[in-house]
Structure 1
Amino acid sequence: MRWLVGMSSTGNSASATKQQLLAHVAPMFLFILLLGLVGMIKSPGAEFWLAAPEFWIYPLQTLLCAGLLIYFRRRYKFHPLRRPVFTGAISLLVLILWIAPQQFFHFPPRLVGFNPDALAYSPGLYWTTLLFRFVRLTIVVPFVEEIFWRAFLLRYLIAERFTTIPFGTFSPLSFAVVTLAFCFSHSRPDWPAALLTGALYNLVAYRTKSLRSCILAHALTNLGLGLWIVATKQWGFW
């Protein structure tokens, strides 16, 4: 009987690990899939919904990814918020890294991108679109990315059964791979800032041992960046 109990326990453990894997990876996979869809169907000169598909795909992406996060919410361990001053300082430093070239060193502005002013003819549609954009930027993206990069991959590269690894455990390999992968997941002009950002957000994970703190750092950075984008109309940073 003991071997039957052992097999059952092993099977349950494997199933739980697969469910945890799905919970941590699926939102990111869906996010990237929908992001790629924009480029696939974008047809300049066509009807608006094809010429600028980001105006409807981004809200759809926001809703679907948020739905997955809510569905899997019991699979995530967010941990108490720790070192809030340190977390806030890192978020501010990351924000400065992103805006410094244009704001302080007079690099060419990045004006081409998701421009909600295209909907200025309809105030209701304009503000709804902008609201969705900020929800995506400050809530969905921080949750999706931190759950994937810091809660999953940073630990998975230490052990395949990543849930057995305490959050914020340091490994030179996982640090390097996650930092580089985070960097290259961004567009080429963003690589320098994204490389440093990946390293700094990893540092938040190591110092706070808290997924909640990582999400907060990412959210604060993105909120500041979003406000700066709207103020300067540098839509290329969306």
Structure 2
Amino acid sequence: MGLLVLRGSLPAEGVFDPRWVYGLSVLIVGGALLWFWKEYGELARQNLPDLRQTLWSVGVGLAVFGLWIHLDAPWMQLGEATANFVPLDAQGRIDWTLIAMRWIGAALLVPVMEELFWRSFLMRWIAHPQFERVDPQQIGLRAIVLSTFVFMLAHTLWLAAIVAGLAYAWLYVRSGKLWTAVIAHAVTNGALGLWVIKTGRWEFW
């Protein structure tokens, strides 16, 4: 979050290109996830979803993507994004290094990082402070609603974020496996990235 604030506060024409702060975020977050991977019990191999659960996750992820790109009316937005990512050079040509960096971060790292925080930790912590003892399938409506509300506050497209948060929470509670939410989140972000690149709708990045 600190690096996100830094990226949004740096001038676009300054000495340091703020877009490369995202690359720094990818390295730091990716490194931290790898370093602590053994601590994430919910992401252990035995907790991988079966084929049916995986297909559900992919379907939900695609559905959330479809809704996300249409839930962008002015009244559905909380202010304006302060750190849009426009991967174009001074001549307006696509910088594929920036594209690859952004897509890897959004499609591979963000889903793991955010689902560990929003669903695995926060949603279960709201249910009970000793969150690691909470069975995901026993999480109540209060925890789902409150964690989704906070998730919404971290996104500009508030209605799209509510839809996404509830969808990922539903997968997690229904299956009891965090991987289902991670996969759906990754599919949403991956599809969104491909769509942004194809359409040039950089405001969604």
Match of 2:48 in 1: 80
2:30 maps to which residue?
A: 66
Partner of 1:95: 65
Structure 2 residue identity aligned to 1:218: H
Report the Cα distance in structure 1 between the residues aligned to 2:137 and 2:111, rounded to whole angstroms: 17
**Structure 1 131/207 Cα, relative in aligned 2: closer, same or farther at 3 Å?**
same
Deviations 1:191-212 (A, max 9, x none): 1111111111100101111111
Correspondence for 2:76: none
Structure 1 position 92, deviation (Å):
1.2
CA distance in 2, matches of 1:117, 1:101: 25
Residues paired across the two proteins, number: 190
1:114 positional shift: 1.6
Code of the aligned partner of 1:113: N
**Paired amino acid for 1:114:** F
Runs of 4+ aligned residues of structure 1 deviating over 3 Å after TM superposition are 44-47, 119-123
Greater helix content: 1
Whether 1:113 and 2:84 are equivalent positions in the alignment is yes
Of residues 104, 119, 123 in structure 2, which corresponds to 1:150?
119
Q: Which whole-Å deviations, capped at 9, do the CAs of 1:155-178 have from their partners, x for residues lacking one?
A: 111111111112343212211111
Q: 1:119 to 1:80 in 2, by over 3 A?
A: farther
Q: 1:186 corresponds to which letter in structure 2?
A: H
Shift of 1:45: 4.5
Partner of residue 6, structure 1: none
Q: Does 1:237 align with 2:204?
A: yes
- Tell me the equivalent position of 1:39: 8
Q: Is the 8 A contact 2:148 2:165 kept in 1?
A: yes
When residues 180 and 65 of structure 1 are mapped into structure 2, their CA distance, relative to the original with a 3 A threshold, is same
- Asked if the contact 2:61/2:187 (under 8 Å) is kept, the reply is yes
Counterpart of 2:103 in structure 1: which amino acid?
Answer: F
**Is the CA contact 2:67–2:160 (under 8 Å) kept in the aligned structure 1?**
yes
Structure 2 CA distance, aligned partners of 1:38 and 1:166?
A: 37
Structure 2 stretches lacking a partner, 5+ long: 73-79
Once structures 1 and 2 are overlaid, which stretch shifts more, 79-88 or 204-213? 79-88
Cα distance in 1 for residues equivalent to 2:198 and 2:168: 26
Percentage identity across paired residues of the two chains: 30
Moved more, 80-89 or 66-75: 80-89
Bigger CA radius of gyration = 1
Report the alpha carbon displacement of residue 119 of structure 1 after superposing the two structures with TM.
6.1
Is 1:218 the counterpart of 2:185? The answer is yes
- Distance, in Å, in 2 between the alignment partners of 1:130 and 1:221 is 17
Quick one: distance in 1 between partners of 2:71 and 2:125?
34
How far apart, CA to CA, are the structure 1 residues paired with 2:71 and 2:141? Answer: 30
Partners of 2:71 and 2:145 in 1: how far apart? 25
1:193 match: 160
- Read off the aligned partner of 1:94 and give its amino acid letter: V
- Paired letter, 2:61: S
User: TM-score normalized by structure 1?
Assistant: 0.74
The match for 1:204 is 171
Q: What residue is the counterpart of 1:179 in the other structure? A: 148
> More relative contact order in 1 or in 2 (CA 8 Å, sep 6+)?
2
